[in-house]
């Protein structure tokens, strides 16, 4: 099957829109016609990392309609509307415990995992494309997925809104609902109001009596956070954040969510916690945060890493869609759609803070 795809041939150059050939699904594969694909920071990090094999096909927040399934696929049928997410083996100890994001084979399956026989799924002018990103590579008109990363959703689901549930929205919402689980009268601080942080904000607001303060440098995102229900939104460059947050939270936050991946921000998040507070860390940065162990021990504070919201996608994505349908989780306010051929404009708007979650739509095959 021939379709178009946004390929990366140079990690420092714009994406190229090219014609590619997608193979027929094998016995364990699912061919999905991609209707929408969110752009996630992880796509950009992986593109910038470079690779000895080019071109690379990214995209891991795909959503679409099932075109065909292999003979061994169960639970997914042609015509189903689906959201694609990350892969997991289902057999290791973590998978058996429901901690799918920590699957022992996660790296092998999600970081451009190849078919067992090494035959290409996608080619361009006869050359194999490096694909299989999160088991989907959804920056194309069609993607080959598997049952473990394919979530069937209701037939009337707006796929442009649902697509980011495969990663970004799932991560932020899950960090709050599954990991932090703030109780009534909790005081949550969200560091970073990108797609993950905003989803965390919206998830917190579905809980009774939770106040949320957002720390974000982009003025437009701060304004949107307040519109969506944040008690306050602070510019991190405005002064002593720990002191300002202590004042806003009545002496210290009960919970914090750090989406930035910056060690100095994590240090601020820990210092902003009150006694017994907890911070969930989802940003994949690098470095050592300057945290005083005495503050951790004497304050009874905890720092918890979190991947993909510690979610079981087949259960959590439908739950978030139910909240959205009920008007309690307005993720549509975070999404702006772009034709897939305008991926460059989408990236520019995201970089400038003009859009929280750009989503590519398929306007042509």
Between CA 326 and CA 83, with CA 257 as vertex, the angle to 5 degrees is 45
Q: Give the residue extent of every domain in the chain.
A: 2-166+330-361, 171-307
Whether 2-166+330-361 shares its CATH topology with 171-307 is answered no
- For residue 198, what is the enclosing H or E element? helix 195-204
pTM of the model: 0.95
| Rounded CA separation 144/132 (Å) | 8
| Nearest one of 193, 178, 163 to 283, comparing CA atoms | 193
Best CATH choice for the domain 171-307 from the list 3.40.50.720, 2.60.40.10, 3.20.20.80, 3.30.450.20: 3.40.50.720
Best CATH choice for the domain 2-166+330-361 from the list 3.90.180.10, 1.25.40.10, 3.30.360.10, 3.30.413.10: 3.90.180.10
pLDDT per residue as tens digits for the range 124-178:
999 999 999 999 999 999 999 999 999 999 999 999 999 999 999 999 999 999 9
Contact status, residue 203 vs residue 172, Cβ threshold 8 Å? yes
* Torsions phi, psi for 242 (to 5 deg): -60, -45
pLDDT in tens, the chain (365 residues): 899 999 999 888 899 999 999 999 999 999 999 999 999 988 888 887 656 678 999 999 999 999 999 999 999 999 999 999 999 999 999 999 999 999 999 999 999 988 989 999 999 999 999 999 999 999 999 999 999 999 999 999 999 999 999 999 999 999 999 999 999 999 999 999 999 999 999 999 999 999 999 999 999 999 999 999 999 999 999 989 989 999 999 999 999 999 999 999 999 999 999 999 999 999 988 899 999 999 999 999 999 999 999 999 999 999 999 999 999 999 999 999 999 999 999 999 998 888 999 999 985 45
Contact status, residue 27 vs residue 152, Cβ threshold 8 Å? no
Contact status, residue 365 vs residue 344, Cβ threshold 8 Å? no
| Nearest one of 248, 232, 231 to 240, comparing CA atoms | 248
Residue reference for tokens 């969510």: 257
Is the dihedral angle over the CA atoms 81, 317, 261, 249 positive or is it negative? positive
**Three-class secondary structure of residue 2 per DSSP:** strand
**Three-class secondary structure of residue 297 per DSSP:** helix
Contact status, residue 212 vs residue 231, Cβ threshold 8 Å? yes
């Amino acid at each position: 099957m021939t379709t178009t795809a946004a390929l990366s041939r140079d990690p420092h150059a714009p994406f190229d829109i090219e014609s590619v050939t997608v193979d027929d699904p094998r016995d364990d594969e699912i061919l999905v016609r991609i209707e929408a694909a969110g752009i996630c920071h992880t796509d950009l990090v992986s593109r910038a990392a470079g690779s000895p094999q080019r071109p690379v096909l990214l995209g891991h927040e795909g959503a679409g309609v099932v075109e065909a399934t292999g003979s061994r696929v169960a639970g997914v049928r042609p015509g189903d509307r689906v959201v694609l997410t990350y892969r997991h083996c289902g057999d290791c100890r973590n998978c058996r415990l429901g901690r799918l994001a920590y699957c022992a084979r996660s790296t092998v399956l999600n970081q451009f995992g190849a078919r067992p026989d090494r035959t290409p799924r996608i080619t361009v002018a006869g050359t194999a494309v490096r694909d299989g990103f999160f088991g989907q590579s959804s920056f194309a008109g069609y993607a080959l997925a598997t049952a473990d990363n394919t979530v069937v959703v209701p037939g009337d689901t707006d796929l442009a809104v649902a697509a980011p549930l495969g990663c970004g929205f799932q991560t932020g919402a899950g960090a709050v609902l599954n990991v932090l689980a703030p109780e009534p009268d909790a005081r949550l601080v969200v560091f970073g109001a990108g797609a993950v942080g905003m989803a965390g904000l919206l998830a917190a607001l579905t809980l009774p009596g939770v106040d949320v303060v957002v720390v974000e440098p982009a003025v437009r995102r701060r304004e949107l956070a307040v519109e969506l229900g944040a008690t306050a939104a602070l510019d991190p460059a405005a002064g002593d954040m720990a002191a300002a947050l202590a004042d806003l939270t009545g002496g210290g936050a009960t919970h914090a969510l750090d989406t930035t991946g910056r060690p100095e921000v994590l240090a601020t998040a820990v210092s902003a916690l009150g006694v017994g507070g907890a911070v969930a860390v989802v940003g994949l940065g690098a470095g050592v945060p300057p945290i005083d162990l005495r503050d951790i021990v004497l304050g009874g504070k905890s720092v918890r890493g979190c991947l993909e919201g510690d979610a079981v996608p087949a259960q959590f994505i439908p739950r978030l869609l139910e909240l959205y349908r009920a008007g309690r989780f307005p993720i549509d306010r975070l999404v702006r759609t772009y034709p897939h051929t305008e991926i460059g404009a989408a990236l520019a708007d995201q970089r400038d803070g003009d859009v929280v979650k750009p989503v590519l739509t398929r306007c042509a095959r």
